[in-house]
Amino acid sequence: MKIERIRGGVSLRRTIESGTEEQRRAVLDIIAAVRARGDEALKEYTERFDGVRLDSLKVTEAELERAHAAMDAEMLQIIREAAANIRTYHERQKRSSWWMTNEDGTILGQKVTPLDAVGLYVPGGTAAYPSSVLMNVIPAQVAGVKRIVITSPPNQDGALPAGVLAAAYELGVTEIYKVGGAQAVAALAYGTETIRPVDKIFGPGNIYVALAKREVFGHVAIDMIAGPSEIVVLADETAHADEIAADLLSQAEHDVRASAILVTPSMKLALAVASEVERQLETLPRRGIAQAALEHYGAIYVTETLEEAVDVVNELAPEHLEVMTAEPLALLGKLRHAGAMFFGRFSSEPVGDYFAGPNHVLPTNGTARFSSGLGVDEFVKKSSVIVYSDAALAQHGGKIAAFARLEGLEAHARAVEMRLKKGE
C-alpha cells in the first residue's frame, strides 16, 4: 500500500458515479420498456443480461423451503442469533406517535405510519449477501411495514443464491422475484402484471441499479445511492499491525472500487501494516479484487500528531471508522463524521457487518458528513396532526390572516376570517 505523509486535503469522493451517456440511455430505455411491456420486458432483459429465460418471475414456496432446508443447522442458528441482535438494536430506534395538548384545547402531534410496501434490491454478482437481507428486512419489520418485496438477479440456472432465500424465509419474507438491474427497479417503481409497485426502494447495486434508482426517485422514494465499501482505521503505535491489515482487507475484498485507508501518526505502524497487508494478501481467496481496490483506493496516511489524524478522518467521513489507539473512547467527542464507529481492537468491522446489531447499510463517498445509516426511520413517515380549538382560532385567527396577506394570499386569510365571523 502507498504510504504518504499528509496534513489534510484528502477525500473519499472519488467514486461518485453518474454513469456514461450510453449507460444513462440504456437505463431510460429499460425503464420505458418495463412501463410499456411489463413482465415480457422483464423476461427479455433477464435473458439478455442474466442469461436465462424464465417462465415465472416469482420464487415459489417450494424453492424457498428447499433453500431453507438445505442450510446447515448450525449456520441457521447463527443467522437467528444475528437476526435477534439486529432486531433488539433496531427496536430501540422505534418512534411512537406523540401528542401535546394546550390549555386552549388545541391538540398538536405527529402520527408515525409505517410505509405500506417496500422493495429491497439484493445484488447478484461476485458475492451474495444474506446479511444484507437481515439488515434491510428487520428494520422494515420493526417499523411495521406490511409488504416487503425482494428482487435479485437469477443465475444462469434461473435460481437465486440459497443463502439469500434461506435468510428471507427465516424472516418470513415470501414475495421474492428473480429480476435484477434497472428492470427490477422499474418494476418495483411502476409495477408489472406480476410485480405490484412499492412505495420505496432500498438496497445497493451496480451502476445500472444506481442510475435507475435516481431516475424513479420522486415517483417512489429511495434509500440512498450506496457506493462501494470503505474503511478508515485511525491508529497509534499501540495498535496491532496484523489486526489493522486484516480489517483493511475485510473491506477491500468487497469490490475493486472499495476503499481501505489507515491514518496514523506512527511511521513505524504504517510500515508494519503495509508489509502485513502484502503478507495476508498472499492467501486471500479474493486477492485479485482486494489488490485492485488497494492499488486504486487504498492508502496509508501518516500525520504529525494524533490530533491531525482525527482531522483527516473527519475530512474523509468514511462509511466505517475503526479507532485503535491507546485510549480509543477518549476520541469519541472529537470524531464527527463516519457511518459507523468501531472502538478498540475487539470491535473489528465484520462484527458490525454481521452480528452486533447496528445496520451495515451506511453512507459512502463522504456522505457521512450529512447522512446516516439505514434504520427504522427510513421505513416510516410522519404526518403532522393539528386539532385547533375555537378558542385558539379566536385568539390567533387575526394574526394568521395578517401573515397570509403579507404573502399576498387573500384566500388563505379569508378561510380563517370566515370562521372568526361565524364565531362572533
Ligand X SMILES: NC(=O)c1ccc[n+]([C@@H]2O[C@H](COP(=O)([O-])OP(=O)(O)OC[C@H]3O[C@@H](n4cnc5c(N)ncnc54)[C@H](O)[C@@H]3O)[C@@H](O)[C@H]2O)c1
Ligand Y SMILES: N[C@H](CO)Cc1c[nH]c[nH+]1
Q: Tell me which residues are annotated as active site.
A: 319-320
Using alpha carbons, list the distances in angstroms from residue 191 to 71, 227, 263, 408: 32, 26, 47, 42
Report the C-alpha gap between 303 and 317 in whole angstroms. Answer: 17
Q: Which does 303 bind (CB under 5 to 8 A by kind): ligand Y, ligand X, none?
A: none
- Cα 176 from chain centroid? 19
Indicate the residue whose CB is closest to ligand X: 125
Residues 215-274 that bind ligand X (CB under 6 A): 226, 228-229, 254-255
Give the list of residues 6+ apart from residue 170 with CB closer than 8 angstroms, or none. 68, 76, 79, 80, 83
Q: What is the 3-state secondary structure (H, E, C) of 269-321?
A: HHHHHHHHHHHHHCCCCCHHHHHHHHHHHEEEEECCCHHHHHHHHHHHCCCEE
Kindly state the smallest distance separating residue 136's Cβ from ligand Y, in Å: 11
CA-only gyration radius of the chain, Å: 25
Residue 43 interacts with ligand Y (CB under 6 A)?
Answer: no
Tell the smallest beta-carbon distance from residue 101 to ligand Y (Å). 44
Number of residues that bind ligand Y (CB under 6 A): 7
Decide: 99 and 44 in contact? Cβ < 8 Å.
no
Candidates 353, 367, 380, 397; binder of ligand Y (CB under 6 A) is 353
Q: Residue 133's closest CA among 166, 159, 168?
A: 168
Nearer to ligand X, 254 or 337 (CB): 254
Q: Does 132 bind ligand X (CB under 6 A)?
A: yes
CB of 249 to ligand X, least distance (A): 15
Binding to ligand X by residue 352, rule CB under 6 A?
A: no
**Cβ–Cβ contacts within 10 Å for residue 381, how many?**
15
Q: What are phi and psi of 15, to 5 degrees?
A: -110, 5
**Does residue 129 touch ligand Y according to CB under 6 A?**
yes
Please give the backbone phi and psi of residue 119, each rounded to the nearest 5 degrees, phi first.
-115, 135
**Is 164 among the residues that bind ligand X (CB under 6 A)?**
no
Instruction: Specify the 3-state DSSP secondary structure of 58.
Output: strand
Q: Which is nearer to ligand X, 163 or 205 (CB)?
A: 205
Number of residues forming the site for ligand X (CB under 6 A): 25
Q: 216 near 222, Cβ under 8 Å? A: yes
- Which of ligand X, ligand Y, none has residue 180 at its interface (CB below 5 to 8 Å by kind)? ligand X
Stretch that binds ligand Y, among 127-135, 233-241, 290-298, 408-416 (CB under 6 A): 127-135
Q: How far apart are CA 376 and CA 293, in angstroms?
A: 32
CA angle 92/98/103 to nearest 5° reads: 145
DSSP assigned state of 59: P
| Binder of residue 363, out of ligand X, ligand Y, none (CB less than 5 to 8 A by kind) | none
Out of 117, 176, 361, 374, which residue is the one contacting ligand X (CB under 6 A)? 361
**Grid coordinates in use for 282?**
498472499
CB of 353 to ligand Y, least distance (A): 4
For residues 292 to 331, the per-residue mask of contacts with ligand Y, x marking binding by CB under 6 A and - elsewhere, is ---------------------------x------------
Minimum CB distance to ligand Y smaller for 57 or for 340: 340
342 forms beta bridges with 322
Q: What mask of x and - would describe binding to ligand X in positions 30 to 59, judged by CB under 6 A?
A: ---------------x---xx---------
Using the minimum distance from each CB to ligand Y, give the nearer residue, 229 or 266. Answer: 229
**Contact footprint for ligand Y (CB under 6 A):** 129, 131-132, 229, 319, 353, 360
Summarize as ranges the residues that interact with ligand X (CB under 6 A). 26, 45, 49-50, 123-126, 129, 132, 153, 180-182, 204-206, 208-209, 226, 228-229, 254-255, 361
